[in-house]
């Protein structure tokens, strides 16, 4: 009898855990927009993440963040978004039942190549984080040789000060 109770308890517990996991994974969805971008280095873009609560209950205290990975052949690597001036993780206090939350991640494109961006939502009630589909980002290289007219100053000022230095040295030697 004890064995039967134990087997049944384990069986029902297994069903309950499975049900919780399935429902948790299913009640939040996340999407990323735009789904692909082509831009130049230096451009500013904004990714919009839409997080939808499909459940009949509100979800509280969830965290959402964007990830960016370089997928250029031979340069595959996750990117440190601090360099790209993107927002850090967003904490969402609550999303009402069947409600949505729209998060924005502005980004400055600092290097060329092919990238993928995706948004992840972490809810402590769920077992697994939920990620959006990947948005493809193609950044074209831009080369600037004399921005802000830097060359005349960068070459001219050391030359001018060097000239004064030579004059002082010459005068001292002569004196």
Partner 1 sequence: MKAQYIIQKEIRESILTPKGFLWYVFTSVILSILSYFFLTNNELSLLDQSQMLYMIMNFITVLGVLMGLVLGADVFAGEIERGTLEALFLSPVTKIEIAAGKLGAAMVNWWIIFAISLPYLFIVGKGGQNLLRGILYLGILGTLLSLTFSAFSMGLSARTKSMKNSLIISFFIFLLAGSPVFLSAALRMTWFGKILDLVNPFADAINTFDSVVIDSQGFSFQIERIAIICGYTFLSLWFLRRGASRLEI
Residue 81 CB, shortest distance to partner 1, in Å, is 14
What are phi and psi for residue 90, nearest 5 degrees?
-105, 130
What residues from 92 to 121 belong to the interface with partner 1 (CB under 8 A)?
A: 108-112
174 binds partner 1 (CB under 8 A): no
Minimum CB distance to partner 1 smaller for 85 or for 100: 85
Number of residues that bind partner 1 (CB under 8 A): 30
Tokens of 9: 């308890």
Sole binder of partner 1 in the list 102, 148, 174, 175 (CB under 8 A): 148
Residue 158 CB, shortest distance to partner 1, in Å, is 4
80 binds partner 1 (CB under 8 A): no
Burial level of 157, CB count in 10 A (0-12/13-18/19+)?
A: exposed
Minimum CB distance to partner 1 smaller for 3 or for 173: 173
145 binds partner 1 (CB under 8 A): yes
175 binds partner 1 (CB under 8 A): no
Stretch that binds partner 1, among 65-73, 120-128, 130-138, 164-172 (CB under 8 A): 164-172
72 binds partner 1 (CB under 8 A): no
Residue ranges that bind partner 1, judged by CB under 8 A: 41-42, 83, 85, 108-112, 141, 144-151, 153-155, 157-158, 161-162, 164-165, 168-169, 172
């Amino acid at each position: 009898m004890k064995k039967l109770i134990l087997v049944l308890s384990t069986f029902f517990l297994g069903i309950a855990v499975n049900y919780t996991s399935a429902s948790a994974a299913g009640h939040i969805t996340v999407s990323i927009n735009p789904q692909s971008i082509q831009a130049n280095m230096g451009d500013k873009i904004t990714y919009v993440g839409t997080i939808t609560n499909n459940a009949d209950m509100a979800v509280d205290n969830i965290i959402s963040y964007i990830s960016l990975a370089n997928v250029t052949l031979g340069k595959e690597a996750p990117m440190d978004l601090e360099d790209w001036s993107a927002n850090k993780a967003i904490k969402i206090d609550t999303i009402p039942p069947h409600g949505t939350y729209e998060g924005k991640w502005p980004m400055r494109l600092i290097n060329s190549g092919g990238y993928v961006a995706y948004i992840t939502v972490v809810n402590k009630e769920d077992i697994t984080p939920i990620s959006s589909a990947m948005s493809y980002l193609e950044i074209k290289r831009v080369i600037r040789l004399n921005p802000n007219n830097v060359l005349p100053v960068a070459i001219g000022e050391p030359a001018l000060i060097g000239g004064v230095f030579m004059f002082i040295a010459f005068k001292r030697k002569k004196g």
